[in-house]
Amino acid sequence: MKRPLVLALALTLSATGAWADMYDDCNQSADPDRQLRGCKSILERGTRASQRTRAIAYTNRGNAYYHKGKLDRAIADYDKAIALYPKEAVAYKYRGNAYKQKGDKEQAESDFRKALEIDPSLGEIQAPTGEASKRSTNKGNCKRYFPALGKTLTVPCK
């Protein structure tokens, strides 16, 4: 009786360890190839992983592609992340960065604006010119200035 229980516990612990390794690999950013493998493993689980988990995995895999210079693949993964979890502000932010790298200033700005609408605290978002967006608060509103446009976007602070 003890032997099957020990074997089942060992299998459970090794599966839990493998799951943790997938997460660790997908969530790190020092090694894009390792990140790609980890995210792929999570995505291969399909609906056994939550929508939010899959959205994060697509976002992280997109980041790995971005750092490898594969902007179209990165954008495709950010699109999938947004489709799965439309309130994932960082997916819009990173997709905006990819569009900015491709020279599509209008789409980059659109994505930055959407990211800020979802999460105004993303103060590190870059304006299309490459200058950091500025954050100020005034009566519950956060403002981000886009120098290339000469426009300020006001969104409620969260």
pLDDT in tens, 55-90: 999 999 999 999 999 999 999 999 999 999 999 899
CB neighbour burial string for 37-64, b if at least 16 within 10 angstroms, e if fewer: bbbebbbeeeeebeeebbbbbbbbbbbb
Residue type, 86: P
The reply to whether 125 falls in a domain is: yes
Residue 29: domain span: 12-130
Specify the pTM.
0.72
Q: What is the pLDDT of residue 60?
A: 94
Taking the chain, what is the end-to-end CA distance rounded to the nearest angstrom?
Answer: 55
Taking 70 as the pLDDT cut, the residues of the chain under it are: 1-20, 122-158
Residue 110 makes CB contacts below 8 A (sequence gap 6+) with 96
Asked whether residue 121 is assigned to any structural domain, the reply reads: yes
Q: Residue 121: helix, strand or coil by DSSP?
A: coil
- Asked if the structure places residue 35 within a domain, the reply is yes
Q: Is residue 149 part of a domain?
A: no
* 40 falls within a domain: yes
- Check which CATH number belongs to the domain holding 106 and give it: 1.25.40.10
Domains held by the chain: number: 1
**Residue 78 belongs to a domain:** yes
